[in-house]
Structure 1
Amino acid sequence: MITDDERCPGATMKKDAEYVIRSYQPGDEAALLALHNSAFDGAVPRSLEHWRWRFLQNPLGFPEITLAINDEGRCTAVYAAISHHLLLNGKPILGGLQTDVAIAPDHRTGLAGGRQFVSVGKLFRERFVTPQTGVEWGFPEPPLQRICIRYLKVGVLRDVVFLCRPAERKLSFACPELETHRVERFSGEVDELWDRCKSDHVLATIRNAAYLNWRYADHPDIDYGLVEVREPQTRRLRGVAVFREGGWDHQLLSIMDWLCPFKDREVEARLLHHLAHETKTRAKLYLIAWMPSPGPVFHRFQQDYGFLAKVTPFQESYRSWSKGADRRWLADHWYQTMGDIDFF
């Protein structure tokens, strides 16, 4: 068990010229937001409400952030991750989804920005990687990815290949007699559903109610659709999915999360009928998903449900501290969805 004292922020500092390299302290929010909104110019500006949701309200509730900041309170480099609970070979581990990593635009052309980023990245490893940490993953911009690979022992796991289904394509599979409906939040029944599903996964984010409600129902900016599939008579929960409009492109309906037993083809088909209907109703051109190969869902969506593989410009990076979990093993065994990508 990791105690609050072991993970308390601000305990480590290093001097880098006029900047201090340290972990997050309360009060840094304004500087972090200013860096984020300048580094990701063109994206929707990040609000303080969103920052608090991302770093303070997630189920682990602890901001894993290191930064370079000067005496005037200007932040020029940051390395951060969102803490996650994962299951690896049936055992719980900690993991981190790399997010908001950035260098200030005016520090990118010289050596100073790169050195600062390496310094905050190394401090992040010292401060937040513990014996319970199994893996870290992320989708950094190419220049930062190159720095991470060269100096922080990060590797490239895989290209991100989405599954894409044209909205006008007719459904060639039957619609089972199961009930689907949207909910505002998932109930505790999702925990029992996860218990039935977890044996399908060698490595995956733990998709219980606490995680799914934080990730989707509590999101301050995006209106996610939470869908349940139930037995008509017993009302037993058989599966859930989450979708949103847009994501990679405004013409898409994106399947963000997907939880049902791999062998339950009835629930699979019912959810896809519901989501295909949402796609057409909302006048979107494509229904897309991400369930990386070589998992059974990746192949079945193409063979049975009319999805096509679509290459994207994104690459997934990783760092593993789990024995035996090298690049090939992770690529073969890690179940992920679009909800495991930080910017969707």
Structure 2
Amino acid sequence: MAIEIRPLQKGDEASLLEALNAHRGGCVQQGHALSSEELAWFLAHPSGTRTLLAWEEKEIVGHLSAARHTMWMKGRQVLFAELLGGFVAISHRARLGKRGLFARLCREFFSEQGIDGDFIYYGWPTREEWRLGRKLLAYETIRTQVALTLSVGNAAEGLPAEVELMERFDHQARWLWDRCAAKFGASAIRDEGFLNHRFVERPGYDYENFGVRDDDGVLRGYAVFRKGQWGEETKGLICDWLVPTDEPEVGRLLLRALEAHGRTQGVQQLFCLLPEWSPWFDSFQRAGFLATDAERMWIARTSARRFDVFWLRTQWFSTLADTLIV
């Protein structure tokens, strides 16, 4: 029976939701049934999404999706797209090689990669996902992710008075990112639209956004906390960190706030991902964080040789904000 592969169209949402929950694959699904609100949130991503569906008559038998992020890279604005997995129905898994349905989905999906489309595709697979997908997705490894972890003490210290819990981000988030971005070769543009969608409006996920302002009310740095799963354990996830490197006191205040909040949330450990070239990677270790294996790979398909995985490893300012898995 002929299979039609085409992009998601208006009116497909109910069928996609049913298929995702039947096969538990892709989008923002993390081992749980996806709600219509979560799917709508994903499809409303500020920089857009890309979803390909394989239809057999009136049934979705295959799917592949990505969330786009507006990036600033070497003085120009481009799109990176985070691969969020997919599925192929059991009836079509007999041939998962280069002639199978998933391979067809991949070839179609990546056919529009380039400067006028998705400049770089990337993902954060587990080692098992990495082994299964590397041949069909033809990605390269940027690095094995290195985590920074801190055991939360038992001291009763509260939130520093200089740190506020922000309900939403405003236009000052972009000002802060502009201050920091000169040090980055590549970075997702952190403005109020991106940050509020990611950390305020996401259904089913609770984030706490901590900020430090100066006497004039200008945002000098922020950190995002979420109590959530990483691997088999519940941790205090530092989902984003944006502080100018010449503001060490702001960094110290935010770390004190994160540790204090972690204690109130009952977590035993703070967990953070930062690029190893960032001065904050060393600063966190001086504050007591330990560098350890994050048990995830960081992979990419790049459309330009000069922006290969070696360049990305040393130039891309990436945190947990760049992935929808937490």
Tell me the TM-score normalised to structure 1 length. Answer: 0.85
Q: What aligned pairs does 1:316-331 form with structure 2 within 5 A after superposition?
A: 316-331=298-313
Structure 1: segments with no counterpart, 5+ residues: 1-16
Counterpart contact for 2:54–2:60, Cα < 8 Å: yes
Give the SS at the match of 2:295. strand
* Structure 1 ranges of 4+ moved more than 4 A: 127-130, 141-144, 175-178
Q: Greater shift after overlay, 286-295 or 145-154?
A: 145-154
CA deviation after TM superposition for structure 1 residue 239, in Å: 0.6
**Structure-1 separation of matches of 2:252 and 2:50:** 39
Q: Indicate which of 297, 302, 306 corresponds to 1:315.
A: 297
Tell me the TM-score normalised to structure 2 length. Answer: 0.89
Counterpart contact for 1:138–1:318, Cα < 8 Å: yes
Residue 181 of structure 2 aligns with which residue? 198
Q: Does 1:43 align with 2:31?
A: yes
Counterpart contact for 1:101–1:140, Cα < 8 Å: no
Residue 159 of structure 1 aligns with which residue? 144
Counterpart contact for 1:22–1:67, Cα < 8 Å: yes
Give the SS at the match of 2:299. strand
Counterpart contact for 1:22–1:120, Cα < 8 Å: no
CA deviation after TM superposition for structure 1 residue 126, in Å: 2.3
Residue 63 of structure 2 aligns with which residue? 78
Counterpart contact for 1:164–1:287, Cα < 8 Å: yes
Residue 54 of structure 2 aligns with which residue? 68
Deviations 1:252-306 (A, max 9, x none): 110001111122111111100100100111111001101132322222211x110
Deviations 1:85-124 (A, max 9, x none): 0111122111101114223345445448971111111111
Identical columns (%): 28
Structure 2: segments with no counterpart, 5+ residues: none
Q: Indicate which of 222, 238, 253 corresponds to 1:255.
A: 238
Q: Greater shift after overlay, 146-155 or 240-249?
A: 146-155
**Structure-1 separation of matches of 2:61 and 2:245:** 45
Deviations 1:150-207 (A, max 9, x none): 2443112221221110002879xxx998721112111111111111111121111111
Counterpart contact for 1:253–1:284, Cα < 8 Å: yes
Counterpart contact for 1:64–1:81, Cα < 8 Å: yes
Corresponding letter in the other structure for 2:24 = F
Residue 59 of structure 1 aligns with which residue? 46
Q: What aligned pairs does 1:274-313 form with structure 2 within 5 A after superposition?
A: 274-302=257-285, 304-313=286-295
What is the aligned residue count?
320
Q: What aligned pairs does 1:1-344 form with structure 2 within 5 A after superposition?
A: 17-40=1-24, 43-55=31-43, 57-60=44-47, 62-72=48-58, 74-111=59-96, 115-127=100-112, 129-140=114-125, 145-146=130-131, 148-168=133-153, 179-231=162-214, 233-248=215-230, 249=232, 251-302=234-285, 304-344=286-326
**Structure-2 separation of matches of 1:112 and 1:176:** 54
Distance 1:200 1:177, change over 3 A: farther
